[in-house]
Amino acid sequence: MPVKVRVPTPLRRFTGGNDEVSANGDSIKAVIADLEKNHPGIGERLLDEKGDLRRFVNVYLNGDDIRFLSQLDSKVKDGDDISIVPAIAGGR
Amino acid sequence: MKSEAVSYVTNLKCRECGQEYPISPLHVCEMCFGPLEVGYDYPRIKAAISRATIEKRAHNLWRYRELLPVTGESDIGPHSGFTPLVRCDRLAAELGVKKLYLKDDTVNHPTLSYKDRVVSVAITKAREFGFKTVSCASTGNLATSVAAHAARAGLNCVIFMPEGVEAGKIVGSTVYGAQVITIRGNYDDVNRLCSEIADKYGWAFVNINLRPYYTEGAKTYGFEVAEQLGWKLPENIVLPTAGGTILPKVAKAFKELKEVGLIRDGECKVHSAQAAGSAPVIHALHKGTDLITPVKPDTIAKSIAIGNPADGFYVLKAVRESGGWGEGATDPEIIDAIKLLARTEGIFAEPAGGTTLAVTMKLIAQKRIRPDESIVVSITGNGYKTLEAVAATIAQPHVIEARLKDFDALFERLNGTSRPLAGAA
């Protein structure tokens, strides 16, 4: 089940400079595992030692922050859009 | 750059893993995604400045230029910063405390909010880096400030807002020549898109890729409080928390003043104020955890309605290290505080200021702040920009014909009520 993943600048050295890659998996966790398989090194940038999403990484599934869904267990289906975005500070 | 083209900045350093980077428009650590922070050569700064040198300088934020990430004195924001620290005895009496001050950024130049500080630094840096277009995601104070400072600097400006914001908010940016793009989505959606645009188009987003520099501007709020108290720290300061910029930076400012020898000692408890309808940091503080769970904001305090505060963790850290605390204020409490401040001190704050005052009152009631301690309440924005927040709850005018006998009748009618026209006896 291929999905599109948007990759931010700091991670593009793992994806050969590509800002978008495709990956497989039925959950965010599985997609990240698949990314790691094809782009070694990317996984530890996203997940900490305990396997949780790092504090300053936001992952959006079809535009929704996965913290509002089922976190890393959020279900992913064919054609979904995933976006990895560093956390943003600053006011309104 | 005018005089003294000197910089005391050393590098950018990741706040999480310590990885170092050269000074550049970079905001995220490539190793761990942690935020980058500007490093300074404090021993050199200590040798270069004194209270006397600073006191001789112009009344703007650049009087602390050695502790800002710029080269020399900037000509951006020549009147930004150095806002009044107002001693408030009438309000203090209402609150039952002795030494109460407001740090009043309702009159910050040129756009009447604390944002003129951070934006002055960000736009200076954008120009140093050679950017031609500056940008931000904002519906209010930040947009207005970026648009105004970009205009004066002669830079192209593009502002992103969520669809459906009030017409007035758009005017507040377009009047300065900025282009406004509205996005079908909420504020967090806009922010996410902007992060992707910054990445792809190489524009200077003041609070994204210039964030390490932008946030440093917030320190000037703290420097000024200390200088205006006669180079002393207050015993308490209450600051609003939205994205989490100002509070940790004011705490950092107080530490730096000691580090470079401008103040000797003294400790300040740093307290966080959030609107109860957007209080993820206060929830974590009260639960005793470091883990901040995002919320969907629902409050009249739009300027601090950020449900997913990137620097919330650092707010928790600064509050806990200082022995401070934090509370949330409900919308009615915020409105009451705005009105209390206006009628006791003649200062009209936006809802963020109502929030800090309402929370100050709670902290006094909880005895977290003692009545004999000095207190600084942070007022970061102007109420004239957010009239709609209080409009529905204020007293309506009395309407009469242009005839003296009608006025006489009104005068008599109100006599003996709780609000006679001649004032209470």
Does the model's pTM come out above 0.90?
yes
Q: Averaged over B398-417, what is the pLDDT? A: 95
Is B320:B290 a contact under the CB 8 Å cutoff? no
- What percentage of chain A has pLDDT greater than the value 90? 58
Name the residue with tokens 């005052």.
Answer: B357
Closest Cβ–Cβ partner in A8, A45, A65 for B308? A65
- DSSP, collapsed to helix, strand or coil, labels residue A41 as coil
When pLDDT is averaged across residues B363-374 and rounded to a whole number, the result is 98
Least confident of A7-11, A45-49, B176-180, B217-221: A7-11
- Banded pLDDT at B198 (limits 50, 70, 90): confident
Measured in angstroms, the CA of B16 and the nearest CA of chain A are apart by: 10
Q: How far is CA B37 from CA B19, B128, B176, B253, B350, in A?
A: 11, 18, 31, 14, 30
| Cβ–Cβ below 8 Å for A55 and B208 | no
User: What is the arithmetic mean of pLDDT over B314-330?
Assistant: 98
Q: Helices B115-129 and B141-153: crossing angle, nearest 10°?
A: 40
pLDDT given at position B374: 98
Name which of A9-23, B138-152, B187-201, B381-395 the model is least confident about.
B187-201
User: Mapping DSSP to helix (H, G, I), strand (E, B) and coil, where does residue B54 land?
Assistant: helix
In sequence order, which residues have a C-beta less than 8 Å from that of residue B302 and are 6 or more positions away?
Answer: A92, B139, B140, B351, B386
Which residues on adjacent β-strands are paired with residue A47?
A53
Reported as a pLDDT band with limits 50, 70 and 90, residue A8 is confident
What is the pLDDT averaged over residues B346-351?
A: 97
Residue B3's pLDDT is what? 46
A6 to chain B, closest Cα gap in Å: 9
pLDDT average, residue stretch B280-299:
94
User: Is B28 in contact with A86 (Cβ distance < 8 A)?
Assistant: yes
Q: What count of residues does chain A have?
A: 92
Mean pLDDT, rounded, of chain B:
94
pLDDT of residue B202: 84
Q: Determine the longest span between alpha carbons in chain B, in angstroms.
A: 78
CB pairs under 8 A between A and B: 111
Chain B residues 14-73 with CB within 8 Å of chain A: 16, 27-35
Going from the C-alpha of B347 to that of each of B91, B105, B203, B337, B340, the distances in angstroms are: 11, 10, 37, 11, 9
pLDDT for B423 equals 83
**Distance separating alpha carbons of residues B278 and B283, to the nearest angstrom:** 10
Structure-token pair, residue B149: 């400072």
Instruction: Tell me the chain A residues in contact with residue B195 when contact means C-beta distances shorter than 8 Å.
Output: 8, 85-86, 88
CA dist., res. B143 & res. B12, Å (int): 26
In which band, very low, low, confident or very high, does the pLDDT at A91 lie, cut at 50, 70 and 90?
low
pLDDT, tens digit, 9 for 90 and up, residues B114-127: 999 999 999 999 99
Distance from CA of B27 to the nearest CA of A (A): 9
Which 3 state secondary structure label does DSSP give B118? Answer: helix
Percent of chain B with pLDDT over 70: 98
Whether residues B185 and A63 touch (CB distance < 8 A) is answered with yes
**The sheet that has B204-205: what strands, in order across it?**
B179-183, B156-162, B133-137, B204-205
Distance, in Å, from the CA atom of B152 to the CA atom of B210, rounded to the nearest integer, reads 19
- Residue B73, pLDDT score: 81
Provide mean pLDDT across the span B183-199.
Answer: 82
Cα–Cα distances (Å) from A82 to A7, A25, A37, A42, B158, in that order, read: 9, 12, 17, 15, 26
Give all strands (DSSP E) within chain A, no chain letters: 2-6, 20-24, 57-61, 64-65, 81-86
User: Which of A50-54, B7-11, B283-287 shows the lowest mean pLDDT across its residues?
Assistant: A50-54
User: Of A26, A67, A70, A16, which is closest to residue B192 (Cα–Cα)?
Assistant: A67
A22 to chain B, closest Cα gap in Å? 18
Contact by Cβ (8 Å): B310, A87:
yes
Compute the nearest-CA separation of A1 from chain B (Å): 25
A57-69 pLDDT tens trace? 889 999 888 988 9
Assess B172–A contact: CB distance below 8 Å, yes or no: no
- A87 band by pLDDT with thresholds 50, 70 and 90: confident
Q: What is the residue extent of each domain of chain A?
A: 2-86
Q: What was the pLDDT predicted at A46? A: 92
CB of B350 less than 8 A from some CB of A: no
Is it the case that residue B90 has pLDDT exceeding 50? Answer: yes
Confidence of residue B2 (pLDDT cuts 50, 70, 90): very low
pLDDT of B87 reads 98
Which of B32, B117, B173, B239 is the best substitution to test chain A (most A C-beta atoms within 10 A)? B32
**B243/A88 CB distance under 8 A:** yes
Residue B14 has pLDDT above 50, yes or no: yes
- The answer to whether the CB of B106 falls within 8 A of the CB of B86 is no
- Among A5-14, B208-217, B396-405, where is mean pLDDT lowest? A5-14
**What pLDDT was estimated at residue B207?**
85
Q: Please check whether residue B64 is in contact with residue B220, taking contact to mean a CB–CB distance below 8 angstroms.
A: yes
Three-class secondary structure of residue A57 per DSSP: strand
Average pLDDT over every residue of A17-37: 94
What integer pLDDT is reported at residue A1 of this predicted model?
64
Contact of B348 with B382, CB cutoff 8 Å = yes
CA-wise closest residue to B7 among B73, B99, B88, B86: B73
In Å, how far is A9's CA from the nearest CA of chain B?
A: 7
- More reliable by pLDDT, A47 or B5: A47
CATH 1.20.1250.20 assigned to A2-86: no
Residues in chain A closer than 8 A to B206 (CB atoms): 90
3-state secondary structure of B133: strand
Q: Do B294 and A68 touch (CB under 8 A)?
A: yes
B contact residues 265-304, partner A, Cβ 8 Å cutoff: 293-294, 296, 302-304
Contact B328, B343 (CB under 8 A): no
Which residue in the block uniquely carries the two structure tokens 């105004």?
A: B148
Looking at residue B96, the DSSP 8-state letter turns out to be T
